[in-house]
Amino acid sequence: MDNRRKLGTSNLWISPLAFGGNVFGWTLDESASFKILDLFLDAGFNFIDTADVYSRWAPGNEGGESETIIGNWLKKSGKRKDVILATKLGIEMAEGKKGLSANYMKQAVEASLKRLGTDYIDLYQSHVDDPETPVEETMNTFNELVKEGKVRYIGASNLSAGRIKASNDFALTNNLAPYICLQPLYNLYERQKFETEYSKLVNEESMGVIPYYSLASGFLSGKYRSVNDLDKSKRGQGVQKYLDERGFGILATMDEVAREQNVPLSQIAIAWLLQKPLVTAPIASATNEHQLTELLQATTLTLTKEQMTRLDTASHF
Q: Return the active site residues.
A: 54
Q: What's the chain look like in SS3? A: CCCCEECCCCCCEECCCEEEHHHECCCECHHHHHHHHHHHHHCCCCEEECCCCCCCCCCCCCCCHHHHHHHHHHHHHCCHHHCEEEEEECCCCECCECCCCHHHHHHHHHHHHHHHCCCCEEEEEECCCCCCCCHHHHHHHHHHHHHCCCEEEEEEECCCHHHHHHHHHHHHHCCCCCEEEEECECCCCCCHHHHHHHHHHHHHHCCEECCECCCHHHHHHCCCCCHHHHHHCCCHHHCHHHCCHHHHHHHHHHHHHHHHHCCCHHHHHHHHHHCCCCCCCCEECCCCHHHHHHHHHHHHCCCCHHHHHHHHHHCCC
First-to-last alpha carbon distance for the chain, in angstroms, is 35
